[in-house]
Chains A and B, each alone.
Chain A
Amino acid sequence: MNATLAILSRELRLALRSGGGAGLGLAFFLMVVMLIPFGVGPVPHLLAQIAPGTLWIAALLACLLSLDRLFQADFEDGTLDILALSPMPLEGLVAIKAFAHWLTTGLPLVIAAPILGITLNLADSAYWWLVISLAVGTPALSFLGAIGAALTVGIRRGGLLLSLLVLPLYIPTLIFGARCVTSASEGMDVMPAFQLLAGVTLFTLALTPIAAAAALRMHMR
């Protein structure tokens, strides 16, 4: 327990200090969503129609931004070697680091999304589901990203490769997440999409620690 808290508090501290990139994802999210009305034009009904998809795609890209440093920084300065010798199993380490990534990247997006919904003229009935679907879906983005980050850990400038690996894996979360919000705005039944979204997240939470730890071991041996 003490080791878990030690790693978690260190991850949060590093993310919030300079160069940690915690605010980067949020700023990117804000910028992208604010640009959409300029590009599409001030047509309220059109914006309302594309709002769910736009918010979800922007959230997904914002999550990707800081993923490449998830294990790379620790790999480069030798910390990963020492962590491998620590009492904390690599599976646990992966789960804690991905959770910390969600706390510093995913959670701010969940909080900022409803405010940005206003700029896209999102339907009133969809705000709650926007927050709920992002809250349930974004952990899957951080955890799937952790697999990609572990696979590309030894590669210089692996950030682009990471995006190519991870973006296809994000598709189910994107489809069901955006569907949740669209259904809510059109007054349709939200539950089918929401249950699938939650299912994808639960599956990812269970799979990621094992997959990413296996990838890290492969790189270290």
Chain B
Amino acid sequence: MTLSVSNLACYRTGRLIFSDQSFTLDAGEAVMLRGPNGSGKSTLLRALAGMLPFEGDVVLNGVSLGNDHDGVQEQIAYAGHLDAIKPQLTVGENLTFWARLFGGGSIDDAVEQFALAEIWDRPAHACSAGQKRRLGLARLVVSARTLWLLDEPTVSLDVETTARFAAIIKKHCASGGMALIATHIDLGLDTPREIMLDPNVVQKSAPSNDPFLSEAWE
């Protein structure tokens, strides 16, 4: 199980966010994605999840994102800035829905690891930001995917929960999983590798193939 990325470049609204990113993740590895605000960490994670157009090659376990979009997406769990929680549903209903949709992961494990039992019956709109975040991250466990793409996962988590979450990432990696984590804090993982993204100084514009955008920025 490997993720190999070569010469990855991303443009957004015709502006180059980053280019020439090449790295690999091996099975059992958690890699930190670092860089100042605006350096393209979120963009890189979304591109790897197949949710943004990109240039370059992304190959996950022998499947290329360019050729078999769905084949790659089926191996990925993504946790972004938004928790994807429905406020009208209870914590339990939210988690059960994701578990039934993805199939494969254990709800009991997720509840135990993220300490959700005490808020199980609470409507999600009555949860604190940290509790919502815990529920959002619990989705990673119930979806049972190989590669975790995590965008600032520890925002609004307390110290204890952050440590608990680091342990969950370790457990995921120990069972052969991979994680790419954009974060500013030290998660306390054992000797994690880091990928640095530099803010792009040269504001290169993209060769746009959008007929409505061409020459719009000249």
Binding site for B on A (CB under 8 A): 2-3, 5-7, 10, 13-14, 17-20, 77-79, 81-89, 220-221
Main secondary structure of the interface of B (DSSP, over half): loop
Q: Mark B60-87, 1 if CB is under 8 A from A, else 0.
A: 0000000000100110111011111110
Closest-CB distance, B8 to chain A (whole angstroms): 15
Find out whether the CB atom of A5 lies under 8 angstroms from the CB atom of B83: no
With a CB–CB cut-off of 8 A, which chain B residues contact A89?
A: 70
B residues whose Cβ falls under 8 Å from a Cβ of A: 49-53, 70, 73-74, 76-78, 80-86, 88-89, 93, 97-98, 100-103, 139
The answer to whether B86 and A78 have CB atoms under 8 Å apart is no
Contact B102 A78 (CB under 8 A): no
Known interface pairs A6-B100, A18-B88, A221-B51; A85-B82 also in contact (CB < 8 Å): no
Q: Is B73 a contact of A85 with CB atoms below 8 Å? A: yes
Instruction: Tell me which of B51, B53, B84, B100 contacts A5 (CB under 8 A).
Output: B100
Residues of A within 8 A of B52 (CB): 221
- A84-B101 in contact given A14-B89, A221-B52 (Cβ < 8 Å): no
Q: A14-B88, A77-B82, A77-B83 are in contact. Are A82 and B139 (CB under 8 A)?
A: yes
Does B86 contact A14, Cβ atoms closer than 8 Å? yes
- A residues in contact with B139, CB < 8 Å: 82
Closest Cβ of chain A to B82, distance in Å, is 3
Q: Are B74 and A81 in contact (CB under 8 A)?
A: no
Q: Across the two chains, which residue of chain A brings its CB closest to B88? A: A17
Least Cβ–Cβ distance between B126 and chain A, in angstroms: 13
A78 touches B74 (CB 8 A): no
What residues of B have a CB within 8 angstroms of the CB of A19 in the complex? 88
Could you say which residues of chain A place their CB within 8 Å of the CB of B85?
77
> When the two chains form the complex, which single residue of A7, A13, A18 contacts B101, counting CB atoms closer than 8 Å?
A7
Question: Which residue of B49, B81, B83, B88 contacts A85 across the interface (Cβ within 8 Å)?
Answer: B49
In the complex, the answer to whether B51 meets A220 with C-beta atoms within 8 Å is yes
Per the bound structure, the CA–CA distance linking A5 and B98 in Å amounts to 12
Q: Are B84 and A79 in contact (CB under 8 A)?
A: yes
A181 to B65, CA, bound (A): 52
Q: Is B82 touching A3 in the complex (CB atoms < 8 A)?
A: no
**Beta-carbon contact of B89 and A77 below 8 Å:** no
Q: How far is the CA of A88 from the CA of B73 in the complex (A)?
A: 11
Q: Which residues of B contact A5 (CB under 8 A)?
A: 100
Question: Are B103's CB and A85's CB within 8 A?
Answer: no
CA distance A220 to B100 in the complex (A): 24
A85 proximity list for chain B (CB < 8 A):
49-50, 73-74, 76-78
> Within the complex, what minimum Cβ distance (angstroms) separates A209 from chain B?
16
Q: Select one of B80, B93, B103 contacting A81, CB under 8 A.
A: B80
Interfacial chain A residues near B93, Cβ < 8 Å: 10, 13
Question: What A residues does B82 contact at CB under 8 A?
Answer: 77-78, 81
Known interface pairs A6-B97, A86-B101. Does A77 touch B76 (Cβ–Cβ under 8 Å)? no
